[in-house]
A and B are shown apart, each in its own frame.
Chain A
Amino acid sequence: MPIEPVLTKGFGSLDLTDLAVYRSVGGFAALTKALREMTPDGVVAEVMASNLRGRGGAGFPTGKKWSFLPKDGRPRYLVCNSDEAEAGTFKDRMLLENSPFNLIEGLVISAYAVNAKRVFIYIRGEFLAGYRIFQKALAQAYDAGLVGADILGSGYSVEIVPHRGAGAYICGEETAQLNSLEGKRGEPRLKPPFPANAGLYGMPTVVNNVETLMYVPHIIERGAKWFASIGAEKSPGPKVISVSGHVMRPGNYEVPLGIPMRELVMELAGGLRPGRRVKAIQPGGGSSAAIFEEDLDVACDFDSLAAKGTMLGSGAVTVMDDTACMVRCALTINRFFETESCGQCTPCREGGQWVHRMVARLEAGEGSESDLKILTTINRTITGTNLCVLGDSIMPFLSSVYKHFPEEFHDHVRLAGCPLHARSESAA
């Protein structure tokens, strides 16, 4: 059930990094409407009614998040999270590079809604091209009076400050991002207080994902009803999903939430290579537990995937076919979490490193049954015991594939190496 693209409309045919082009397809109409015809509370109400849920990973309702800000007269900040570093996610990068004005429009409308006078956009350090494109667009937007003082004569003013990250996955976590913006170590903060109360520089702050904020102008322009009519009832709207791995056409697909995984993988992404079968799929980035061939009919939305014990996350679908060694896949994931742990919490720092060592040993054919025994129980002391959810991301994939393919793990011990590789080698 493909839909008309919303954020990605014109990608590949139009140069949306050109302000005139963006305007020619209706760009900044929403901004004019919001500033001229709507109160900030009206914008919040519209977004709330659309039931837009955060596209950064947690799926938290955006309007609700905005309504949490205390009305106490303190300065407020809006932070746009463009640190995108979840394994398998590459949608924000594409959106930033191809449609910077849609993002800017979303930033200004959202800042207006929450009455922020200053917006920070935290751009992943590796996104140098995106950063430059954004900067250029921002300069044009300032020149055109779309950002800055007294926007479109409305009396509302806002500054947008781009900030480049320095290459830490953890800085995508919202409170680590705030610390990093403040010039501190990029480490998550103890909560409460939550950013809504004490965020950037201790002030009320909203952190939203790039994609989330880019849908806001479309909701304002076309109405909450339109948005809510698309996709799943409790996860409405379109979403850009990054599909990667063993598929014929990896890439970003803007689909209605709730699309069956089978349709996404087998049709849109072109299915697998001839003769191959799905072995495991991570539906929500490196942090998510795997689903398997028999789960292909699951709907890709926040709630359906949660019911399967995994998550939609930021919408990063990584497909592994039957040539993939699960131990090796787990090794990649666990190496990532070992290096990306900020190191504050004991279980994440030490446990993550221990798990990585054990998986590395197994993969190298040097593991033991006692390693496997530890891996079955360590979940209980690593998961749910940390300050932020990075710690909770260490085990899901490993535990799910171990549970589903236990023999593959035991074989690594028994054969002192990978059974798949051994097979393919003997076949050769």
Chain B
Amino acid sequence: MSPEKAVREVSVTIDGNTFAVPEGTLVVEAAKHLGTQIPVYCYHPKLEPAGLCRICLVEIEKMPKLQIACATRVADGMVVHTSSAKVAEARRGVLEFLLLNHPLDCPVCDKGGECELQDFTMSYGPGESRLTEPKLHKPKLVDLGPTIVLDEERCILCRRCTRFDDEIAQERTLIVEDRGFKSLISTRNGGAYASYFSGNTTEICPVGALTSKAYRFRSRPWDLNHTDSVCTQCSVGCNYRVDTRFGRVMRTFTRENPAVDDGWICDRGRYTFNYLYAPERLRAPSIKRDGGRVDVTFAEAAVLAGSKLAEAAARGRVGVIGGGRLSDEEAYALQRFAREVLGTNNIDYRTHAQVYASPSRFGARLTDIDDASVILAFGAVTPELAPILDLRIRRAVARGHAKFVYMGPYRPAFTIETRYVKLQRGTLPKELDDLGDAVRRGAGQPGGSDVATIASDIAAAKKIVAIHSGEDAPSADAIERLVETLQQSGRDAGILVVGATGNARGAEAAGCVPNLGPGYAPVSGEPGMTTDQMLAAAADGRLDALFVIGANPALTFPDGALARRALKRVPFLAVADQVMTETASYAHIVFAAASFAEKRGHTTNLEGIRQAFAAAVESPLEVRTDAQIIGALTLATRRGSIGDDPTTLFAELNAAESAPRAKTGGGALARPVVTGASAPIAVPDGALTVIPIPHLYAGGGAAAHDPGTKPMRPEPYAVFSPSDARRLSLDEGARVKLSGASGSIEVSARIAQQVPDGSVLVLAEMPEAPHNLLLDASGGGWANVEVIAGAAEAAG
């Protein structure tokens, strides 16, 4: 960490109170020290001062005109009056102007009750109206894109939305059109405002101009109950508030944590809660019977499953898969269940290509990105996998002038300037070692290879943050070697590993791995089987029972054919989930699990911060938390007792973690065992190498069934290079069949320059067309392409 520069303090007098603030503080912020509110519209602490709305005018002695508090910085000895008659008159004036053509449809406006136009008019507005004007009219229902509706009449043109889109998201889709009083908020070239961050604009809009389609006309702010929670849709762990009414989630709202989310959340996090009320939501356990499924009570399901698991455990032929979507407490309970109740170390949270969820001893903090000079990302497509982390990168590049480097098999569409280095499969470790050598030699010879250019960037850097997908152990090790080299050369360097699931890191730390217990303590006895080994064993008939909890390996495990064989073949499969996933569809018993909004506990984000969340609503009658499911199964096996109270479990987890534990060399944490080394794949002649690509709205669980995010969810597609497309005679939009070594899928074709010739990018984790049917256990694969219908036919 770089030491803070000493900031000079200056003295300021506001409304007769003299106090000291750091030099450069804005008057509006200085006033907050006194608890004095200066009204603002265009000003937002996260945006650059714009000075547009003029509501914040204050009187500053020795200045002839009123000054805007939102852009004027405190100077030593400055004397400010925030409530003089002149100030009051100016505020009244601005409010009067804003109300001139404002529709005042407060009774039907979503913002009513938390609207700054209402609030400031009450506090500072003209007592009586002298507005006899007929109102000018503007469009009232402008569909900006899949998430947002705009009422131009309510808009006060503060431009927070356009500035957010420009300065924070840096997407520059929202614009101001026309000028003067005809100004309208609009989109670039009339296109859709389809941003992963769109929901934030509805929060920062001071009035009811921007509204979420998901929340329009659903509730009044004063009818909402607020619960502090944490988003678990990805591993960033943004803090948010769940707002409920009549026991139902109405919306989510940012709850600023500067160290995690900086006050923003992404749309996947914001809008993924409507599945709770969708027909696909599981509301009761069910069992397979007579070729169909029948609902049973929770008690019945628990007894049945408990005895089956106990039988398999008695034969030592049982495994447990999951943990990365549970709370920390539940992940801890789950590994106890495996180890103490089922007597096995066959437990693994890793159900994706990811093998590590933590950066060992080289952990960086999210805030390290803010002042990093170089950000190196390896295979982690942050806009899709960790949007709010990506927002931080965007800001660091735009404001802090950080350089952003991405190394991977194809060039993802980043919003910001990116130096891209194309990697062949399996070559990352060598590239990184070369990089380390170059840095060690003090190299950075200009005009050389990619490595030389990056080495010279790094050589000039004080702080470097590496972001990894946690896939491929040799790569993870090489990244650590590089970071160690950088640290030894006196640079500040650290690693962030983006989790494949929201609580991957929490599950790893809680001991949901075959060789490690809570706190990375090596297990006593033989390590158990990894997910690949369990699936292989089940597929071969060497396991009698599998318990899959909060996981959908059928869709996420790299070797989709193996996963499906295993799940179909295993004599007893119990699954706990919130919706009927493909994995659950194979299960003999399915438990209906509670969502994060329906339970309390902790979750650990990718940086390792453990954050508490509270229950916002109650779950349906036969739905249970994962802890309750584990507890009930324990009871049913009659082989021990694991409580389901989060408080007790949390205390136990803490105690287990802080117990002295064996450490491996150099103080590094032990690593989860990795099996199934990646073998080079042989691509048959004419076939294309398959590269799975992530998408924010992909997934086979909640996301597949959420009405709130459905409009943003893509159709399955594959992307070809222009020359491959030509060779295969396929057009954009054509329907194609991709056939690999062990299966085939049908998708629509897209064509893009960024695809390397000889490869095809396949949208991952789409239940309609599972990408993993084309992959092997190491995540590699190929496909032959067959055009089923041309673009025109496919469209018609």
A357 to B157, CA, bound (A): 20
Minimum C-beta distance from B173 to chain A (A): 15
Name the one of A340, A352, A380, A385 contacting B94, with C-beta atoms under 8 angstroms.
A385
Contact A346 B54, beta carbon cutoff 8 Å: yes
Q: Does chain B have a CB within 8 A of A400?
A: no
Most central of A338, A342, A381, A387 by chain B CB within 10 Å = A381
- Select the stretch in B85-93, B197-205, B232-240 that faces chain A: B85-93
- Residues of A311-362 whose CB lies within 8 A of B: 338-347, 349-354, 357
Contact B181 A381, beta carbon cutoff 8 Å: no
Q: Does chain B have a CB within 8 A of A382?
A: yes
Minimum C-beta distance from B299 to chain A (A): 64
Q: Does chain A have a CB within 8 A of B615?
A: no
- Residues of B364-380 whose CB lies within 8 A of A: none
Contact B100 A190, beta carbon cutoff 8 Å: no
Minimum C-beta distance from B213 to chain A (A): 27
Contact B52 A345, beta carbon cutoff 8 Å: yes
Contact A341 B179, beta carbon cutoff 8 Å: yes
A168 to B179, CA, bound (A): 10
Q: Does chain A have a CB within 8 A of B130?
A: yes
Q: Does chain B have a CB within 8 A of A24?
A: no
A92 to B130, CA, bound (A): 43
Contact A346 B98, beta carbon cutoff 8 Å: yes
A350 to B65, CA, bound (A): 20
A351 to B93, CA, bound (A): 9
Chain A residues with Cβ below 8 Å from B71 are 190
Minimum C-beta distance from B181 to chain A (A): 4
Contact A381 B93, beta carbon cutoff 8 Å: yes
Contact B97 A350, beta carbon cutoff 8 Å: yes
A339 to B182, CA, bound (A): 9
Contact B180 A342, beta carbon cutoff 8 Å: yes
Q: Does chain B have a CB within 8 A of A384?
A: yes
- Residues of B403-443 whose CB lies within 8 A of A: none
Chain B residues with Cβ below 8 Å from A386 are 54
Q: For this complex, into which size category does the number of interface residues on chain B fall?
A: 35 or more
Q: Does chain A have a CB within 8 A of B303?
A: no
Q: Does chain A have a CB within 8 A of B57?
A: yes
Q: Does chain B have a CB within 8 A of A161?
A: no
Give the A interface residue count (CB, 8 A): 31
Contact B181 A190, beta carbon cutoff 8 Å: no
Contact A343 B183, beta carbon cutoff 8 Å: yes
Contact B133 A357, beta carbon cutoff 8 Å: yes
A156 to B187, CA, bound (A): 45
Q: Does chain A have a CB within 8 A of B66?
A: yes
Chain A residues with Cβ below 8 Å from B90 are 381, 385
A185 to B166, CA, bound (A): 14
Contact B180 A340, beta carbon cutoff 8 Å: yes
Minimum C-beta distance from A126 to chain B (A): 17
Contact B52 A381, beta carbon cutoff 8 Å: no
Contact B97 A190, beta carbon cutoff 8 Å: no
Contact B52 A387, beta carbon cutoff 8 Å: yes
Q: Does chain B have a CB within 8 A of A374?
A: yes
Name the one of B51, B92, B157 contacting A349, with C-beta atoms under 8 angstroms.
B157
Minimum C-beta distance from B132 to chain A (A): 7
Closest to A380 in B: B89
Name the one of B51, B98, B183 contacting A190, with C-beta atoms under 8 angstroms.
B51
Q: Does chain A have a CB within 8 A of B55?
A: yes
Closest to B55 in A: A346
Q: Does chain B have a CB within 8 A of A426?
A: no
Q: Does chain A have a CB within 8 A of B104?
A: no
Name the one of B65, B132, B178, B181 contacting A352, with C-beta atoms under 8 angstroms.
B181
Question: CB-defined interface of B147-191 with A at 8 Å, one 1/0 digit per residue?
Answer: 000000000110100000000000000001011111100000000
Q: Does chain B have a CB within 8 A of A13?
A: no
Contact A342 B179, beta carbon cutoff 8 Å: yes
Q: Does chain A have a CB within 8 A of B101?
A: yes
Name the one of A338, A382, A387 contacting B181, with C-beta atoms under 8 angstroms.
A338
Chain A residues with Cβ below 8 Å from B49 are 190
A176 to B796, CA, bound (A): 49
Chain A residues with Cβ below 8 Å from B100 are 350, 353-354
Contact A347 B94, beta carbon cutoff 8 Å: yes
Closest to A384 in B: B65
Contact A347 B176, beta carbon cutoff 8 Å: no
Most central of B52, B156, B180 by chain A CB within 10 Å = B180
5 contacts between A and B (CB under 8 A): A346-B94, A347-B54, A350-B97, A353-B136, A370-B130
Q: Give residues in A with beta carbon < 8 Å to B.
A: 168, 170, 185, 190, 338-347, 349-354, 357, 370, 374, 378, 380-382, 384-387
Given contacts A343-B182, A346-B98, A346-B156, 9 further A-B contacts (CB under 8 A): A344-B159, A345-B54, A349-B97, A353-B100, A378-B93, A381-B90, A382-B93, A384-B66, A385-B94
What 4 pairs between A and B have smallest CB-CB spacing? A381-B93, A350-B97, A343-B183, A353-B181
